[in-house]
């Protein structure tokens, strides 16, 4: 009961924070309206905006709730929740305009449009910052303390999925595994979250002791080949200890990204999900890419010119670096970057992991740290070889080693940014972290792209 109260309190805090953002957006728009002297002027003072803002806050929070912004279930890296915020703001805009058209009352159109402009940026931005702050910091009062049974590939994947979904309020206290050689092994949820590592604490015989020592509330089984008898015995033990038992279905691991669960009567049904984008979806994505590429190309041209000059002055050689990559449907193209290494560095050697690698130039270290070396890929987007959002393209010799599941990455345009870039698993090769790309491929939408772009901005400001 206490945990339910705390979780409802946290949801209430989300609602309160959203209301603050809505109030701030309206009154900021009102202030700018007066400051710039737009239109014919506002005939009422700020106090007259209070009823409008209260109604807007109610409609806005209700719209975001309908779009899933407050639900407990959490998508990978919370992109589904942030997408719900964006959709909620757009729904609020439509409902608000219809409502005030009927009652014949609204503030200035300039104030209304500017307020929604602030909301569409401020609400997702604030939510993203809040989710980032919650990552790895959920207090015990809110957390469900569990053990993961199985420290193999599937168990580590489950650990990573839980870590990337903080709004599930699950705290992994450790692993148990029947392989005695794994005892004490440290498992990290991602490449950058060393403080959140968990260890293998024991085996099946240690469950009762570990449950009491760590105040465990549930055991999650992540062993793909566990038999029904073992599950039944484990369930009986969990029942005696008063804790819950959950398990990852025994499906082949490469199949799980296409799974949709349905309920038919009292039976769960696992269905393979085949996702297909329509022509309109493709057209919308391409239109957004072109508009962004043209706009950013104009705005960032002075910066790109300055970077090119700095690269040339820092070391001999061209400012741009070209490299063959594999794009959609296996098509080879040349990706463009600002050169960050000395000119005679092998173009297809292993990418440096250490910023002090002697192959990296002084300017190159700055470009890699800020990701400014990726800016020329705007040209790849304009040419239709890449998108702003999608799986990162890899070199041909790596793609030649792909299996069938890896080749699913080639069904979509590669991107400049994506879920993998936002994760903490960038210390590992792209092809060893397929979860993010496959999740994107089978859940992609226009609003998910917008959400990932917004999250990328947050990611850049966090300086990771």
Q: What is the pLDDT of residues 353-367, one digit of tens each?
A: 666 777 889 998 899
Indicate if the pLDDT at residue 270 is higher than 70.
yes
Measured distance CA(212)–CA(234) in Å, rounded? 16
Are 94 and 127 found together in one domain?
Answer: yes
* pLDDT for 10 beyond 60: yes
For range 97-102, the mean pLDDT: 77
Q: How far are the Cα atoms of 132, 153, 162 from residue 156, in angstroms, in the given order? A: 21, 5, 10
When pLDDT is cut at 50, 70 and 90, the band that residue 335 belongs to is very high
Rounded to the nearest integer, the mean pLDDT of the chain is 83
Residue 405 covered by a domain: yes
Nearest to 287 by CA among 71, 450, 46: 450
Dist. CA 88–CA 22, nearest whole Å = 12
If DSSP codes are grouped into helix, strand and coil, which group holds residue 459? helix
* Three-state secondary-structure class, residue 272: strand
Judged by DSSP in three states, 344 sits in coil
Q: Which of 27-31, 105-109, 157-161, 204-208 has the lowest mean pLDDT?
A: 105-109
In a domain, 258, yes or no: no
Among residues 108, 134, 160, the one where a domain terminates is: 134
Tell me: do 48 and 87 sit in the same domain: yes
The per-residue pLDDT for 112 is 85
Using pLDDT thresholds of 50, 70 and 90, give the confidence band for residue 192. very low
Rounded to an integer, the average pLDDT of 259-269 is 76
Q: Give the Cα separation of 60 and 24 in Å (integer).
A: 13
Q: Which of 81-85, 269-273, 306-310, 398-402 has the lowest mean pLDDT?
A: 269-273
Considering the domain architecture, whether residues 294 and 371 belong to the same structural domain is answered as yes
pLDDT of 251: 61
Total of domains in the chain = 3
High-pLDDT (> 70) share of the chain, %:
82
Domain stop point among 250, 271, 298: 250
What CATH number does residue 200 fall under? Answer: 3.40.50.720
Domain that holds residue 120: 2-134
Same domain, 308 and 329: yes
* pLDDT greater at residue 132 or residue 395: 395
- Residue 285 in this model has a pLDDT that exceeds 60: yes
Number of Cβ within a 10 Å radius of residue 261: 9
Q: Could you tell me the CA-to-CA distances from 461 to 136, 342, 458 in Å, in that order? A: 19, 28, 5
What pLDDT does 88 receive? 92
pLDDT of residue 96: 87
Tell me what pLDDT residue 79 has: 78
Between 414 and 427, where is the model more confident?
414
Does 293 lie in the same domain as 231?
no
Mean pLDDT on 328-352: 85
More confident call, 48 vs 236: 236
**Do 103 and 173 share a structural domain?**
no
Contact 324, 396 (CB under 8 A): yes
| Exposure of 82 in the CB half-sphere (CA atoms within 13 A) | 27
Whole-number pLDDT of residue 460: 64
Which tens digit of pLDDT belongs to each residue from 41-93? 555 566 778 888 898 999 999 999 999 888 766 667 677 788 888 899 999 99
pLDDT higher than 90, residue 23? yes
Residues 449 and 456 sit within 8 Å (Cβ to Cβ): no
Where are any strands of DSSP class E within 248-288?
Answer: 259-264, 267-272
Tell me the H-state helices in 37-152: 49-66, 79-103, 109-134
pLDDT at 464: 44
pLDDT higher than threshold 90 for residue 120: no
Would 262 be classed as within a structural domain? no
More confident residue, 313 or 127: 313
SS3 percent helix, strand, coil of the chain, rounded to 5, is 55, 15, 30
Give the domain-ending residue among 134, 164, 198: 134
Count of CA atoms in the C-beta half-sphere (13 A) of 101:
6
**Does residue 265 sit within a domain?**
no
Q: Is residue 11 part of a domain?
A: yes
How many whole angstroms separate alpha carbon 107 and alpha carbon 201? 62
**How much is the pLDDT for 348?**
67
349 and 217 within one domain: no
Provide Rg for the chain, Cα atoms.
Answer: 25
pLDDT at residue 275, rounded to an integer: 67
d(CA 328, CA 408): 10
Q: 3-class DSSP state for residue 349?
A: coil
Which H or E run contains 21?
helix 2-36
Assess whether 160 and 204 both reside in one domain. yes
For residue 138, name the pLDDT band (cuts at 50, 70, 90). Answer: low
Residue-level pLDDT at 13: 87
Contacts for 223 with CB less than 8 Å, ≥ 6 apart = 149, 150, 152, 154, 155
Phi, psi of 54, rounded to the nearest 5 degrees: -60, -45
Q: What's the pLDDT band for 379 if we cut at 50, 70, 90?
A: very high
Residues 152 and 229 in one domain: yes
In a domain, 89, yes or no: yes
Rounded-to-integer distance, Cα 18 and Cα 70, Å: 11
Task: Report, as an integer, the average pLDDT of 101-126.
Answer: 80
- Weakest-pLDDT range from 193-197, 412-416, 449-453: 193-197
The strands making up 144-149's β-sheet, listed across from edge to edge, are 186-187, 198-202, 170-176, 144-149, 218-221, 244-247
My answer on whether 94 and 184 are in the same domain is: no
Question: Confidence class of residue 176 from pLDDT cuts 50, 70 and 90?
Answer: very high
Closest CA to 314 of 351, 267, 277, 366: 366
Q: Are residues 115 and 183 in the same domain?
A: no
pLDDT score for 140: 67
CA distance linking residue 463 with residue 91, whole number of Å: 33
Higher pLDDT, 60 or 276: 60
Half-sphere exposure in the Cβ direction for 252 (13 Å, CA): 5
Choose among 135, 208, 213: nearest CA to 462.
Answer: 135
- Is the CB of residue 38 less than 8 Å from the CB of residue 112? no
Does the pTM surpass 0.85? The reply is no
> Is 124 found in the same domain as 155?
no
* pLDDT grade for 403, boundaries at 50, 70 and 90: confident
């Amino acid at each position: 009961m206490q945990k339910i109260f705390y979780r409802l309190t946290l949801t209430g805090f989300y609602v309160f924070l959203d209301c603050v953002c809505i109030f701030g957006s309206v009154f900021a728009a009102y202030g700018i309206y007066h400051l710039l002297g737009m239109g014919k002027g506002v005939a009422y003072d700020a106090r007259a905006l209070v009823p409008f803002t209260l109604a807007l806050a109610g409609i806005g929070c209700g719209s975001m709730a309908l779009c899933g912004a407050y639900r407990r279930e959490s998508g990978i890296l919370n992109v589904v929740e942030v997408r719900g915020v964006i959709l909620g703001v757009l729904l609020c805009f439509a409902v608000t305009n219809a409502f005030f058209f009927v009652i014949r009352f609204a503030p200035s159109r300039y104030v209304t449009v500017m307020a929604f402009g602030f909301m569409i940026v401020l609400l997702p931005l604030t939510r993203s910052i809040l989710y980032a702050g919650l990552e790895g910091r959920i207090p015990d009062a809110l957390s469900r303390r569990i053990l993961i049974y199985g420290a193999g590939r599937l168990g580590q994947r489950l650990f990573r999925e839980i870590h990337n979904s903080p709004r599930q309020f699950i705290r992994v206290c450790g692993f148990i595994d029947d392989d005695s050689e794994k005892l004490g092994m440290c498992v990290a949820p991602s490449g950058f979250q060393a403080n959140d590592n968990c260890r293998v604490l024991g085996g099946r015989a240690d469950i009762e002791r570990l449950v009491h020592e760590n105040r465990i509330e549930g055991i999650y089984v992540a062993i793909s080949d566990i038999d029904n008898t073992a599950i039944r015995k484990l369930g009986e033990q969990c029942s005696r200890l008063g804790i819950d038992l959950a398990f990852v279905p025994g499906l082949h691991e490469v199949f799980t990204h296409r799974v949709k669960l349905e309920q038919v009567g009292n039976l769960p049904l696992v269905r393979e999900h085949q996702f297909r984008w329509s022509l309109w979806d493709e057209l919308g994505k391409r239109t957004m890419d072109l508009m962004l590429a043209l706009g950013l190309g104009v705005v960032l041209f002075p910066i790109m010119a300055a970077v090119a000059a700095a690269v040339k002055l820092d070391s001999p050689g061209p400012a741009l670096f070209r490299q063959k990559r594999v794009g959609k449907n296996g098509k080879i193209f040349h990706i463009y970057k600002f050169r960050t290494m000395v000119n005679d560095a092998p173009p297809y050697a292993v990418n440096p992991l250490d910023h002090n690698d002697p192959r990296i130039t002084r300017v190159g270290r700055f470009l890699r740290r800020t990701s400014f070396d990726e800016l020329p890929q705007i040209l790849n987007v304009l040419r239709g070889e890449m998108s702003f959002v999608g799986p990162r393209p890899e070199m041909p010799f790596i793609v030649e080693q792909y299996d069938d599941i890896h080749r699913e990455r080639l069904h979509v345009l590669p991107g400049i940014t994506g879920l993998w870039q936002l994760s903490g698993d960038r210390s590992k090769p792209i092809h060893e972290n397929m979860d993010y790309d496959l999740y994107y491929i089978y859940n992609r939408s226009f609003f998910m792209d917008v959400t990932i772009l917004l999250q990328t901005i947050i990611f850049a400001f966090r300086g990771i």
